[in-house]
Structure 1
Amino acid sequence: MTCRESDMDACREAIRHGSLSFHAASRLLPTSVRDPSLALYAFCRLADDAVDLQQEKAAAVLRLQDRLERIYQGRPDNSAPDRAFARVVEEFEMPRALPDALLEGLAWDAMGRRYDTLSELFDYSARVASAVGVMMCVLMRVRDPNALARACDLGVAMQLTNISRDIGEDALEGRVYLPLEWLDEAGLSADRFLENPKPTKAIRQMTRRLVMQANRLYMRSEAGVAALPVASRPGIYAARFIYAGIGGQVQRSGYDSISTRAHTSKAQKLGWLSVSAMRAAMTVVMPKSAVLYARSLPETQFLVQAAGHENKGRSRSDAVFEALSQVAQRDRDHRDALNGVHGRLT
């Protein structure tokens, strides 16, 4: 199966407009990794938009699962991201369980799932972010469990950063990712917060906790960079610094992600790219950190195991179907409620 240049052009364009941070970091990746990673991210962006922009969430995720099934059968849909990702799956023997985990996370989003504890938020972050990090390792031909564990740390850190930045935007969409037990400790409920989201001292303290957790995992993740191919290290460092920089902007705003949304400038991104190149060069002469061998987060261990060659054919379709059944029930309940209202008005 060949990957048309026009397909790659479409993937590059999707990332250029859909993920400025990843587009900047990808510039430091070698071509052998950059092009497959752009195909991967284009498919992930397509998947996220296909669910987020649809009213019938369960149907949207089911369509995505069907598309993924055809990709793994070598007969992708007639679209650039599908064709490009099918080539990646074939060339790199991408374990099916990894994109399945991403779909499971999207199904959780579709059902409006909330998370009681930080550990449950890690469960979610593992699916929507760490799964992509492990797939990136596969594209680098890296299957070492220690390197994969640190890639998972980076994925969770990035997702926590995204959540800390988007608290206000998510609230406008009726979504809350702050651990419910944190809200409970502050005498708040999720519904009460969503009714009138304000950057109170309690909410800003929770935002700070997310940023601090992310920073801890960014530090842990750095130990894994030295286990990657030398040519790929600058790009991964760039992703680490650019996303951590977003957290820095959240901090500078006083952890108020409701009145404003943190963003980084082009000049800042260019500065982090330069720092990343220097840090990557240092890994060639510096000894490996003992942190490389730290245990993986319990919530991401299944991804580390899934990336093993012996597991390349396994999927997580049962977990996805279970999540989808809950989304479908939610959609049915929503339709029934609307029909009930309509019946009373007619």
Structure 2
Amino acid sequence: MHPLSPERSFASAADHAHCAAAIRAGSRSFHLASLALPFRVREPAYGLYAFCRLSDDAVDLGGGSLDAVARLQERLSRACDGRPQDTPEDRAIADVMRDYAIPRVIPEALLDGLAWDAEGRRYETYADLQAYAMRVAGVVGVMMTLMMGVRDALTLARACDLGVAMQLTNIARDVGEDARAGRLYLPLSWLRDVGVDPDAFVRAPVASPAVKHVVARLLGEADVLYARARRGVAHLPASCRPAILAAALLYAEIGRELCRRHALDSVSQRARVSGARKLALLGKAVTLSPWLSRGAPEPALDAASFLIEAVAREPVRGGPARRPGMGVQFVYMLDMFERLERAERFGE
């Protein structure tokens, strides 16, 4: 049990075994790599990711249904209140939420993002798109930072930068795939600025010079956020820095592949990073992480303010959370590799 939680755990040994089995079935590589984790970290990590995957799958299998999101919101509410539904994933997430003092606003924001997807929402401005990216990706950065025992506003702001940057990269990479599924995440005002009618593009997606211009613009914004996030990595515990830096480098490389090898055509092609290149970037992260500069403090994105304020309001029982060292570093790294793997295998 985490030292911040003197109370009895909700999840049993059988529940944790179920969550581990779910990860093992979903991704053999993730499960095998996770066996190197210390038990104290491996167990809650399985619970967190099992619930997150359950959420994704529940909405996907429900055909993007708002009813599915509503059911997840009820389950999350019960878990946060210490009354988890009678499933292993729900009991495990109830422990994680309590043990790491994660405000319920944070996972609720993730479910809001799923609801926006279910609604087929589009985003008029870049600020609107940031609000969406914060909910579906920035919240992951916040939760992982809290699991590292770090709760200061500056570091959380940089974690949000990284999450949003990664989501912008995903959007830039998947323009054609999204359009063929009837989805559009590029800012509508940007498309109109270059003479592209959003509805016409979704009906017949083509990698025109104008669309490529918008993709390049989005990747440029992502690069700005990656640079901000890199400075924030220096505020993390030293043992956690290589993994977070590697995650940033890996996702930024997708954008570079899109520019370098695909001429910004993400309509008819899909950029991928080779396994050899991933390993090279991991080595680079290990080498560079001790030398990162903190730089001058920068304000948080407006879209991140509600998450950072929620953490500031959340009481932490039993004193500051301990810094778990290498364990959580590997958890974060494994999550990033898992997301990349699923994206490559299933087009997510």
Same fold? TM cut 0.5: yes
Q: Which residue of 2 aligns with 1:266?
A: 275
Q: Are 1:107 and 2:131 matched, yes or no? A: no
CA displacement 1:43-93 (0-9 Å, x = unmatched): 223212221332361110011111112211334334443333222112112
Report the count of equivalent residues: 304
Q: Which residue of 1 aligns with 2:346?
A: none
Q: Are 1:141 and 2:149 matched, yes or no? A: yes
* Identical residues among aligned pairs (%): 47
Q: What are structure 1's unaligned runs of at least 5 residues?
A: 313-346
The 3 A distance-change label for structure 1 pair 93 and 164 is same
CA displacement 1:154-178 (0-9 Å, x = unmatched): 0110000010111111111100001
The 3 A distance-change label for structure 1 pair 34 and 64 is same
What's the offset of the Cα at 1:230?
Answer: 1.7
The 3 A distance-change label for structure 1 pair 25 and 60 is same
Q: Are 1:288 and 2:297 matched, yes or no? A: no
The 3 A distance-change label for structure 1 pair 3 and 230 is farther
Q: In 2, are the aligned partners of 1:37 and 1:139 still within 8 Å (CA)?
A: no
The 3 A distance-change label for structure 1 pair 11 and 245 is farther
Segment drifting more, 52-61 vs 62-71 = 52-61
**Amino acid in structure 2 at the alignment position of 1:207:** V
Q: Which residue of 2 aligns with 1:199?
A: 207
Q: Which residue of 2 aligns with 1:217?
A: 225
Give the SS at the match of 1:256: coil
CA displacement 1:99-145 (0-9 Å, x = unmatched): 01111111111111110011100011111111111111111111100
Q: Which residue of 2 aligns with 1:257?
A: 266
* Aligned ranges 1:33-182 → 2 under 5 Å: 35-55=43-63, 57-182=65-190
Q: Which residue of 2 aligns with 1:278?
A: 287
The 3 A distance-change label for structure 1 pair 35 and 259 is farther
Q: In 2, are the aligned partners of 1:95 and 1:307 still within 8 Å (CA)?
A: yes
Give the SS at the match of 1:307: helix
Segment drifting more, 224-233 vs 31-40 = 31-40
CA displacement 1:189-223 (0-9 Å, x = unmatched): 22110110011111111111111111110010011
Q: In 2, are the aligned partners of 1:33 and 1:140 still within 8 Å (CA)?
A: no
Q: Which residue of 1 aligns with 2:306?
A: 302
Partner Cα distance (2:122, 2:315) in 1? 30
Which structure has the highest helix share of the two? 1
Give the SS at the match of 1:199: coil
The 3 A distance-change label for structure 1 pair 33 and 134 is farther
**Amino acid in structure 2 at the alignment position of 1:274:** G
Partner Cα distance (2:171, 2:135) in 1? 14
What's the offset of the Cα at 1:24?
Answer: 11
Give the SS at the match of 1:308: helix
What's the offset of the Cα at 1:263?
Answer: 1.4
**TM-score of the two chains, using structure 1 as the length reference:** 0.80
Partner Cα distance (1:35, 1:204) in 2? 44
Q: In 2, are the aligned partners of 1:61 and 1:103 still within 8 Å (CA)?
A: yes
What's the offset of the Cα at 1:27?
Answer: 9.5
Partner Cα distance (1:29, 1:282) in 2? 26
Segment drifting more, 206-215 vs 39-48 = 39-48
Q: In 1, are the aligned partners of 2:101 and 2:315 still within 8 Å (CA)?
A: no
Partner Cα distance (1:234, 1:115) in 2? 34
What's the offset of the Cα at 1:187?
Answer: 2.1
Q: Which residue of 1 aligns with 2:17?
A: 6
Segment drifting more, 76-85 vs 301-310 = 76-85
The 3 A distance-change label for structure 1 pair 160 and 176 is same
Q: In 2, are the aligned partners of 1:43 and 1:85 still within 8 Å (CA)?
A: yes
Q: Which structure has more RCO (C-alpha within 8 Å, separation ≥ 6)?
A: 1
The 3 A distance-change label for structure 1 pair 271 and 11 is farther
1:190 to 198, 223, 237: 198
**Amino acid in structure 2 at the alignment position of 1:289:** G
Partner Cα distance (1:255, 1:100) in 2? 34
Partner Cα distance (1:96, 1:194) in 2? 36
The 3 A distance-change label for structure 1 pair 224 and 47 is same
Partner Cα distance (2:273, 2:32) in 1? 12
What's the offset of the Cα at 1:31?
Answer: 6.6
The 3 A distance-change label for structure 1 pair 34 and 47 is same
Give the SS at the match of 2:264: coil
Partner Cα distance (1:240, 1:224) in 2? 11
**Amino acid in structure 2 at the alignment position of 1:109:** D
